[in-house]
Structure 1
Amino acid sequence: MIHFPLEFKKKLSTSKNDTLIIGAGLAGLTAARVLRSAGRKVRILEASDAPGGRVRTDNVNGFLLDRGFQVLLTAYPEARRFLDYKALDLHSFSPGSIILNNSGIDEIGDPLREASSLIRTLRSPVGSLNDKFRLLSLRLKLASTSIEEIFSKQETTTLQYLRNAGFGEKIISDFFAPFMSGIYLEQKLDTSARMFEFVFKMFSEADTAIPANGMGMISSQLASGLSAEELILNERVLNIDGKEVLTASGKIYEADSILIATTADCIPVPFQRRHVEKKSVTCMYFSTDKAPYHKALIALNANPERLVNNIAVMSNVSANYAPEGKSLVSVSITGKEQFIKPEDLELKVKEELKFWYPECVNWVHLKTYTIPYALPDNSHVINDILPSSLRINGSCFICGDHLLNGSINAAMKSGRLAAESILSL
C-alpha cells in the first residue's frame, strides 16, 4: 500500500462522498444509478472527456461514428432492467447475414423470424441442408435453455462445441467463424462455448439494434441526471489509499466506499494487474454516395485469409448515422494486420473489398479507431459472482465485464451487483 505523505495531503483539496466510483463506463454508470436510487451520495471520477467508456459515439462531419462497431442485443436482461428502449429510439438489423465468399455474394436469413427468407436460406450454398436444420434445432434448444443453465455447463471452445454438434466445416468457416469473430474479436473461436450459447440465445430471442443517434446514447441515458459535482471528467485516478484516492490533477477525494469500475488494464495502484488478457479491434469508417447494399444486414467475409472480418452500412439501419445523400460504412478488422499504418490499412481494405464491391475504391475514409482493449478474455466466462469477489477490502469494491463475460449485459450486471454489495453494508 502506498500512503500519501501527511504534508502532501494538506496541500490537496478533499471531498467526502458515500461512494466514489472510478470510471464512467457502463458498469460504473449502472452502479451509480442503483446507489443514487437508494439515496446514496455518489461521485464518479472519469479519466476521459465524456462518460461511456468503450460505448461512445463521435460526430465527425455529420456522421455518427461509434467507437468500434457495436450493437445492443435487446434480449439482454440487464439492458431491459435499466434502459428505456423507447427513448433510445432503437433501430434493428434484419435477421440474417450477407456472406462474402470466393464465388461472390450469398445471403442467409432466419426463417423463424422472417418467413420470406426460408427459400433463400435453404438454397444458399453456405453449409449443407443438414447444417441448416442443425442451426434451426440449436435455436429451438437454446430457446428452452435458461441463462443459468448455459453458464453452468462444462466449458469447451466454441469451435469444439460446433464440431461436437455436428456442424460441417463449410458452415463453420463461411458463417460461424466470421459471425462470431466479429463478436469475440478473435478468429480461432477459442472463446468459451458458454459465451456462444448465451450470445446466440440473445440474438435469437429479440432484436439486434442500435439507438437512432449512436451507441453512445446508451451511456448518455445511464448518465442522465448526474450533476457536474457527481460526474467529474478528465480526472484520472493514480492511487487508492484506504478511503482516499489521489488524482493526476493533484486532488484527493474521500469516501466511505470506493468502487473501481475501470477496464482490467486500468485498475489503479495498488490493485493494478500485471498481466491482462484482452481482445483488440480496429474499426474503419467510410463515407460513400452510394451504399454497397441496401439491406439492414451485416456482411461477413468468409475468406479464410481475410483482413476484413465484417462490414455494416450503418445508415441502412438508422438514417441518422449519415448526412442526407450519404451512406456510412463500418469495416471491422480483428486480425494482427489491424496494427499496420492507417494509410496502408485503407489500401489493403479497399483492395480486398473491391472483389465484391468495386465502387469501394471511391469510398472516402472518415476515421479509424484502433481499440487495444475492446473486450476482456472470454476463454472462461461466468454469469454470476459472489459478493465477496466484488470486495477487495473493507472499503474498496470492483466491478466490470472482465469479472463475468465481455458483454454490455455483464458490464451492467457487475455494476448492479457491486452497488448492491455496497448497500448491504
Structure 2
Amino acid sequence: MTSTQADAVVVGAGLSGLACAADLTRAGMTVRLLEASDAVGGRVRTDRVDGFLLDRGFQVFNTSYPQVKRRFDLRGLRLRPFTPGALIHTPQGSRLFTDPTRRPRRTADLVPGRLASGRDLMALGLVSALDMLSPVRALKRGPERTTETALAAAGISPALIETFLRPFLSGVFLEEELETSSRFFHLVWRSMLRGTLCLPAEGIGAVPAQLAESLPPDCLVLDTAAQALTDKGVRTEDGGHWEAPTVVVATGAFAAARLLPGLEIPPTRTVSTYHHVAPASPLGEPTLVLDSRRRFLNTCVQSDVAPTYAPAGSALVCTSVLGESGVEREGEVRAALGEVYGTDTAGWDLLHVDTVHGALPAMIPPWPLTRTTRVAPGRYVCGDHRATGSVQGALASGTRAAREVLTAAAPGRSH
C-alpha cells in the first residue's frame, strides 16, 4: 500500500486540474495531481494511430480566451489557423460565410440575397459589434434566455438561423435546439470575433502537455485512479492512500459525483467523431464545413489545417455527429460527406470513431457562468461543469479552486 502526504491532492489532470495544481504549487503548496489515465488532458487528448494525429473528438483552440493568454506559450504550440468563417453546403450550392474584416477578398457570398438578406446581415453585424466591443462584465450581466430566443430578438430571421447559425452553433454547443444560455453564446461569439481558431501542430493534446511541463517533477502521478475520498485524503484503486487536508476533485461531472456523493451535476452532451483517411484532400483549404441539412455537426480536413495530422500522400477528414454513433452509421455519414465535398468517398478508409460522453455540460438557462468550488471543509470541485463548457471555463474553474483553497489556507481561516 502506498501512502504519501501533501498539502493538497488534486484528482484529475484535465485542463481544470492542471490549472489548479499549477497555481497551488506556484503559491508554495506541495501538491499531488492524480490522473487515472496514462497521460494528462482528460477530454483534451490526442492519439497517434498509423502516423495520424487523432484528437478525441473535434476540438479547436481559441487564442482570445483570457486564461489562454495568461497560461500558454502560443508560439510553442505551433498553432495553425482555420479560415475565419465556415463553408456551408446548401441546396443552392456551397456558400462561404466569412468575417469580412479578415478576408475582404472572399466576401462574394455576403452579397445580400446570396446567403442572407441585407436586413439579416445588418442584424448579425450589430450583434457582432456589440459582443466584440462590450465589456465582458456587461455580457455576463445581460438578459438571459435561450440562444434561439436571443437571435430572434436581435432581428435575425429564421432563414439565416436555419441556414447558418443553427448548423454552426450546434457544433459549438453540441445541441441542435439552440437552448444554450444566451449569455454563454455572446461570450463565445465575442471570443471568436476577437481571436483565432487554431489547431496545435502536434494535436490538441499539446495544450495540456504544455501546462503539465510547468509542474514540479514529483507533482503528477499517472495511472492512478481515485476510488474514494477519505477523512484524510484520497484512496486509490491500487490500494494506495494519498493524505492531504485539502482535496480538489477536478474530474468530469459523473466521476465528480461519484467521489462527492450528493454533488449536483448538470446534464451533459455526447458527441462522436469519425476519422476518415482520403488519398487527397477533398477541399484544399483549412475551413470548417457545415451542412444546412444537419446530417452532421461539422466536418473539416484537419490535415489542411495542420499538415502534421496526416502522413504525406494522405488526408485526414474529421466529422462529428451528436450522441453515440458507431460504425453502423458510418455509411450515412460517408454518403453525406460525398455530397458536401463533391467527391467520391468510396475509397476513403474509416480509421477510427471516437465517442466522448459528457463532452460538454448542457448550459440551459438559468446557467451560472461561474460558481464556488468549495463543497465542504477541505473539499473542492472544479471543471467546465462548474463554469462554462469551454477551454476558458475549465481553466477558469481550476483557477478559482486554487484561489479558494489558498484563501482557506490563510492564517485564521478554516479549510
Q: What's the TM-score, normalizing by structure 2?
A: 0.94
CA RMSD across the alignment: 1.6
Partner of 2:330: 346
For 1:242 and 1:124, locate their aligned partners in 2 and report how far apart those are by CA, in whole Å: 66
State the partner residue of 1:309.
297
State the Cα distance separating 1:104 from its structure 2 match. Answer: 2.4
How far is the alpha carbon of 1:14 from its aligned partner?
1.5
**Residue identity in the other structure for 2:290:** L
One-letter amino acid matched to 1:101: T
Contact in 1 for aligned 2:67/2:396 (Cα 8 Å) = yes
Q: Give the distance between the partners of 2:207 and 2:113, measured in 1 at CA.
A: 36
Answering whether residue 321 of structure 2 is matched by residue 333 of structure 1, we say yes
Which stretches in structure 2 are left out of the alignment for 5+ residues? 410-415
Q: 2:99 aligns with which of 92, 107, 110?
A: 110
In structure 2, what is the Cα distance between the partners aligned to 1:395 and 1:27? 18
Range with greater deviation from structure 2 (254-263 or 349-358): 349-358
Q: Could you say what secondary structure the match of 1:201 adopts?
A: helix
Cα deviation, 1:65-121, whole Å, max 9, x if unaligned, reads 110101111110011111110111111111121001223222121101221123332
Matched, 1:382 2:382: no
- For 1:235-291, what per-residue CA distance to the aligned partner results, in whole angstroms no more than 9, with x for missing partners? 111111223211111111101211110111111434354764000100111111121
Task: Measure, in 1, the Cα distance between the counterparts of 2:260 and 2:381.
Answer: 13
C-alpha distance in 2 between matches for 1:195 and 1:276: 15
Measured after TM superposition, the shift of residue 230 of structure 1 is: 1.8
Quick one: which of 280, 287, 291 aligns to 1:297?
A: 287
Q: What amino acid is aligned across from residue 147 of structure 2 in structure 1?
A: T
What is the identity, as a one-letter code, of the residue corresponding to 1:146?
Answer: P
CA contact (8 A) 1:243 1:258 kept: no
Q: Distance in 1 between matches of 2:203 and 2:243?
A: 35
Cα distance in 2 for partners of 1:307, 1:228 equals 47
2:412 corresponding residue in structure 1: none
Establish whether residue 141 from structure 1 lines up as the match of residue 130 from structure 2.
yes
Distance 2:210 2:289 in 1: 29
Q: Give the gaps of 5 or more residues in structure 1.
A: 1-11
Shift of 1:228: 6.0
* Counterpart position of 1:3: none
**Residue of structure 2 equivalent to 1:286:** 276
- 1:370 maps to a residue whose letter is T
Q: Which amino acid aligns with 2:148?
A: L
91 and 180 in structure 1: CA distance in 2 versus 1, 3 angstrom threshold: same
Q: Distance in 2 between matches of 1:274 and 1:112?
A: 43
Partner residue in 2 for 1:373: 358
CA distance in 1 between partners of 2:165 and 2:369 (Å)? 23
Residue 208 of structure 2 aligns to a residue whose secondary structure is helix
Q: Counterpart amino acid of 1:55?
A: V
CA offset digits 1:42-68 (Å, max 9, x no partner): 111111111100101011111111101
Q: In 2, distance between residues paired with 1:282 and 1:217?
A: 21
- Give, as a single letter, the amino acid of the residue that structure 2 aligns with 1:157: T
Q: Post-superposition, which runs of at least 4 consecutive aligned residues in structure 1 deviate over 4 A? A: 272-276
* 1:198 corresponds to which of 184, 187, 195: 187
Query: 1:392 corresponds to which residue?
Result: 375
In the alignment, what sits opposite 2:169? Answer: 180
Q: 1:270 to 1:34 in 2, by over 3 A?
A: closer
Q: How far apart, CA to CA, are the structure 1 residues paired with 2:48 and 2:310?
A: 10
Q: What does residue 413 of structure 2 align with?
A: none
Aligned partner of 1:127 among 87, 108, 116: 116
Q: CA–CA distance in 2 between the matches of 1:169 and 1:115?
A: 26
Normalized against structure 1, the TM-score is what?
0.92
Aligned partner letter, 2:404: S
**Residue pair 1:108, 1:124 contacting (<8 A) in 2 also:** no
Aligned match for 2:212, one of 223, 226, 242: 223
Asked if residue 243 in structure 1 is aligned to residue 232 in structure 2, the reply is: yes
Matches within 5 A, 1:17-36: 17-36=6-25
Instruction: State how 1:35-74 maps to structure 2 within 5 Å.
Output: 35-74=24-63
8 Å contact kept, 1:148–1:383: no
Shift of 1:398: 1.3
1:253 corresponds to 2:242 = yes
Inter-partner Cα distance in structure 2 for 1:133 and 1:117: 18
Q: How many residue pairs get matched?
A: 405
Q: Percent identity?
A: 32
Q: Find the aligned partners of 1:398 and 1:127 in 2 and give their Cα distance.
A: 44
What are the within-5 Å matches in structure 2 for residues 163-174 of structure 1? Answer: 163-174=152-163
Say whether residues 1:411 and 2:397 are aligned partners.
no
Change (3 A) 1:275 1:142: closer
Residue 354 of structure 1 aligns with an amino acid whose one-letter code is G
Distance 1:149 1:410, change over 3 A: same
Q: Which residue number in structure 2 is paired with residue 6 of structure 1?
A: none
Q: Deviations over 1:93-150 (max 9, x none)?
A: 1112100122322212110122112333226732212211222222211122122111
